[in-house]
Structure 1
Amino acid sequence: MPQDARILLVPGSTRAGSTNTAALRTAHTLAVPGVTTTLYEALRELPAFDPDQVDEPPAPVVALRAALADADAVLFCTPEYAGTLPGSFKNLLDWTVGNGDLYGKPVAWVTVAAPGRGAGAEQTLRMVLGYLGADIVEPACVRLPVPRAGVGADGLLADAELRTGLADVLGHLGAHAHRAAAVPASGPPARP
């Protein structure tokens, strides 16, 4: 029997009551066959990206890189801010550029914004992940709108349809990660 696919859940918001974080917290509680999740909760701790520190990064960046290296796949859930990604989340992605942390890694995102919103964040995320050489798993990139009132006092989503949608995403991403693990990777391109 194959080992569970390890999926790192990365919220793109620093807001305490974020529906994005609530969606990934909820995903973390779901029992999905063949999948184990880890919730990344240190976005606030990352220092501003400094290219002079890429080879000797600060401790929070070392921890981020270790979490990414340990993951078979990554699921993002980010809000849109001013038509694009929030600066703190883009900063996280910037720290992954120089060393291939996401190269060839299966990735997906869940957009929980209200209908008609979030397209700018999705477009930017797709562009950045493409630049990083990540393996975007299209069936796992979905929109599951979460009303602010849908987050319970425990910080989780109780709505059965949303929970099922999140479980489906994890299942697609986990299955893709298993298939990708069976194919030898060529490795990231050399850094200039």
Structure 2
Amino acid sequence: MLNLIAISGSLRAASTNSALVAALALNTPAGCRVTVYDGLGRLPIFNPDDEGERTPREASDLIEAVTGADGVIVSCPEYAHGVPGGLKNALDWLVSRDAAVGKPAMLAHASPRSLYARTALAEIMRTMSFALCEEAMLEVSLLGKKPAEVESILREPANVWAIRDGLSAFAAFIRSRQI
């Protein structure tokens, strides 16, 4: 069983990115389990002086979750042509740890317009030594939709299959690296 952790880079209650990672958790193919990380808003601002024995519990929980996962999925909105501060903060807590090194990662997007954030996030994650799976990138266009519309779109058979196909490709990528 592959254990994957999914992180939404948005803190909004009606976030399309959070809805997308929730849909990933509901539509996993056989042999996979997706756990949604929900601690982004509780993380203290990263400070290198607080690493090691001084690492806050919330940051330790994130580090342990990423370390223990077989792969990481990130769904990220774009704010002012960049990665939201909360997500960048979470990634900063992982920088000096081994949690990211060689860790398979998949990007999922809820908007076709988040091109700057996609590029920036991919660069950040590559710099941190995540192993990005380009073949499994997923995009389900949810931009500007109300929560009821988002739920309906994510239940459409074509999108369920796209989610399962993306997760299956990611699972194959992870398994190919474990050999």
TM-score in same-fold range (> 0.5)? yes
Contact 2:16 2:150 in 1 (8 A): no
The alignment status of 1:103 with 2:101, answered yes or no, reads: yes
- Note the C-alpha offset of 1:161: 1.8
Give the one of 89, 92, 95 matched to 1:91.
89
The alignment status of 1:63 with 2:76, answered yes or no, reads: no
Residue in structure 1 matched with residue 21 of structure 2 by the alignment: 24
Give the one of 71, 74, 80 matched to 1:73.
71
Q: How does 1:166-185 map to 2 (within 5 A)?
A: 166-182=163-179
SS of residue paired to 2:173? helix
The letter for the 2-side match of 1:163 is: V
TM-score, L = length of structure 1 = 0.86
TM-score, L = length of structure 2 = 0.92
User: What is the root-mean-square deviation of aligned Cα atoms in Å?
Assistant: 1.7
- Note the C-alpha offset of 1:160: 2.1
The letter for the 1-side match of 2:71 is: A
CA distance in 2, matches of 1:18, 1:76: 14
Instruction: Report the CA distance shift for 1:154/1:47 in structure 2 as closer, same or farther (over 3 A).
Output: same
* Per-residue Cα deviation, 1:151-183 (whole angstroms, up to 9, x for no partner): 43896732222222111111111111112122x
Give the one of 64, 79, 82 matched to 2:80.
82
CA distance in 2, matches of 1:125, 1:31: 24
Instruction: Report the CA distance shift for 1:159/1:151 in structure 2 as closer, same or farther (over 3 A).
Output: farther
CA distance in 2, matches of 1:5, 1:152: 31
- Note the C-alpha offset of 1:145: 1.1
- Note the C-alpha offset of 1:22: 0.1
Unaligned runs of 5+ in 1: 183-192
Identity of aligned residues (%): 27
* Per-residue Cα deviation, 1:80-123 (whole angstroms, up to 9, x for no partner): 0000100011100111101121110110101111x3x1011111
The letter for the 2-side match of 1:67 is: A
Residue in structure 2 matched with residue 165 of structure 1 by the alignment: 162
SS of residue paired to 2:148? coil
- Note the C-alpha offset of 1:137: 0.4
Q: How many residues align?
A: 177
CA distance in 2, matches of 1:87, 1:139: 27
Instruction: Report the CA distance shift for 1:148/1:164 in structure 2 as closer, same or farther (over 3 A).
Output: farther
CA distance in 2, matches of 1:139, 1:68: 21
